Structure 1
């Protein structure tokens, strides 16, 4: 993560060679000729073509300066060549686009894909002539995938609290990824920790101040979820997390119940914000029951007939798949925002390994007939 570009991509290419070697007889592999590889690279890039992109900046703790500004597909391609692998990088995507590809492969009505895990992002299928930025580009495609990068979304209407503001200010990337810091698994546990810290300072409900409470990100979101979903009569899991992780022993039952309430409020807000983001995309493509696309006519009156098309939203990420209450809150919010006439036409489907299978599908479709535009 902090080495050189060559070492990083060699690190990727080495196990790939082992993997290919296990699955093929060497003589058989030579008959097949060059193979196509889909490369999922979930960092900000300037996409130059379907198979190449320049790294804009690293995130998630990576800091390999000599890669910035370079074509990451070429970097991997050189590493493959150094290991005599006759493999061509033919598709460069991120995990959100891979999720859309996988969802669309299984169900052609899949038009939106969302990642809600440690980080968060979304993408959707848009009419090419509706994308102002791409006007003038040579393309035969009627549709194009738009990678929203909604983690960077910001608006004065977002309900930021003092806990959100403090978390952002003390993070390694202040004033960046504002929406992600309110809805992704990387940050939810720390929001709860900050609330508990303030409770301990102002209400004196935990006894002596715990030094662990002052440690950023010590309360990870899976631990927060475990407390939130604790259904034992004496809330044993809440007590365990407070004692073992935050070093707050002997917390009374009524305070443990209060901790669950804090987790519930944070989770509910997160789920509803994520749901609003999804509905915002549906509105943009005219799939929210409105008359026309965003900026069009007003929503039909209650009781009027709405001609709706079925729309599938592919979702991947542990926050949605493993956190039951989060999932319930998000689905509930989607139904409330869309309304009873529209909600049945919007189906959420969970995908698995869009990063891997989705990239492979795109590479395969590119290889088979060069009609990836038709697949997406």
Structure 2
């Protein structure tokens, strides 16, 4: 989700919304959930104070969020016996224990889950507001495409947050442009036609 592109297309496939919500939160509306790691990523980015939502959910920033958490936990003595190195602050360590690996995996899961839940909360809000009963959601980006659990995390959270009468489907849209929206709309229309014929 490097560009935070999410497209919603409903029922007859004749309407689409392209969220492009990377700048959501630039007005401070997300400050209540931003962490010290989010602040660090933002401050050291090429565009401080801008695209705050993107910096919390995008694969482009997730690795740095994890690295910052590992650095902090190491300095606090909670990882690697408190022994950091220049390698940790750039790439890695050789003296990690099995518990360290478990902790690192947990940190990665937390960052990934938070990203999926933030995207899902925004989508659930839109679905509830729109009120359409059948919606296809096209999502672009490498995180959604390659992360082994991202789709399922999103499905679970959206189901938890939306009106139970709303049916939705998540589809990979590899092109966040109009071509991607057209493709998702065409697939949604075809699926709708198939459902109405059965």
When the two structures are superposed, what TM-score results if normalisation uses the length of structure 2?
Answer: 0.76
- Unaligned runs of at least 5 residues, structure 2: 184-198
| CA displacement at 1:276 relative to structure 2 | 0.7
| CA–CA distance in structure 2, aligned partners of residues 180 and 170 of structure 1 | 14
In the TM superposition, what is the alpha-carbon distance from 1:122 to its structure 2 partner? 3.1
1:29-54, Cα deviation, whole Å (9 max, x unpaired): xxxxxxxxxxxxxxxxxxxxxxxxxx
Q: Deviations over 1:121-175 (max 9, x none)?
A: 334569xxxxxxxxxxxxxxxx875543310001146511111111111111111
Kindly indicate whether the alpha-carbon contact (under 8 Å) linking 2:6 and 2:140 is maintained by their aligned counterparts in 1.
no
Structure-2 separation of matches of 1:322 and 1:350: 10
- Which of 84, 108, 124 is the equivalent residue of 1:263? 108
Q: Alpha-carbon deviation of 1:281? A: 2.0
Q: Deviations over 1:298-337 (max 9, x none)?
A: xxxxxxxxxxx22111122221121112222111101111
Q: Does 1:342 align with 2:187?
A: no
Asked if 1:152 corresponds to 2:23, the answer is yes
Select between 268-277 and 143-152 the one with higher mean Cα deviation: 143-152
Mapped pair 1:252 → 2:136: no
The alignment's TM-score, normalised by the length of structure 1, stands at 0.42
1: CA distance between counterparts of 2:65 and 2:159?
26
Q: Is the 8 A contact 2:24 2:51 kept in 1?
A: yes
What is residue 6 of structure 2 aligned with on the other side? 122
User: Would the aligned equivalents of 1:153 and 1:177 in 2 still touch at CA under 8 Å?
Assistant: yes
The equivalent of 1:312 in structure 2 is 136
* Residues 42-89 of structure 1 deviation map (CA, whole Å, 9 limit, x = unaligned): xxxxxxxxxxxxxxxxxxxxxxxxxxxxxxxxxxxxxxxxxxxxxxxx
- Give the paired residue count: 176
How does 1:40-189 map onto structure 2 within 5 Å? 116=1, 118-124=2-8, 146-154=17-25, 155-156=29-30, 158-189=32-63
Q: Structure 1 residue 325 and structure 2 residue 143: aligned?
A: no
SS of structure 2 residue aligned to 1:257: helix
Supply the distance in 1 between the matched residues of 2:171 and 2:101 (Cα, whole angstroms).
Answer: 34
1:351 maps to which residue?
173
Partner SS for 2:149: helix
Tell me, in whole angstroms, the C-alpha distance in 1 between the residues paired with 2:182 and 2:162. 34
Query: What is the CA-CA distance between 1:258 and the residue it aligns to?
Result: 0.8
Assess if the C-alpha contact under 8 Å between 1:183 and 1:274 holds in 2: yes
Give CA deviations for 1:11-45 in whole Å, capped at 9, x if unaligned. xxxxxxxxxxxxxxxxxxxxxxxxxxxxxxxxxxx
Question: What SS class does the counterpart of residue 280 from structure 1 fall into?
Answer: helix
Provide the rounded CA distance (Å) in 2 between the counterparts of 1:187 and 1:316.
16
CA distance in 1 between counterparts of 2:136 and 2:4 reads 18
Flag the structure with higher helix content: 2
Check whether the contact 2:23–2:50 (CA below 8 A) recurs between aligned residues.
Answer: yes
Q: Which has the larger radius of gyration?
A: 1
What whole-Å deviation, never above 9, does each CA across 1:203-232 have from its counterpart, x for those lacking one?
Answer: 0642643213334xxxxxxxxxxxxxxxxx
Q: Which residue of 2 aligns with 1:211?
A: 86
Query: In the superposition, relative to structure 1, how do residues 213 and 173 fare at CA in structure 2: closer, same or farther (>3 Å)?
Result: farther
Q: Cα RMSD (Å) of the superposition?
A: 2.7
CA distance in 2, matches of 1:261, 1:359: 35
| Residues in 1 aligned to 2:168 and 2:178: alpha-carbon distance in whole angstroms | 26
**CA distance in 2: counterparts of 1:125 and 1:156, whole angstroms:** 26
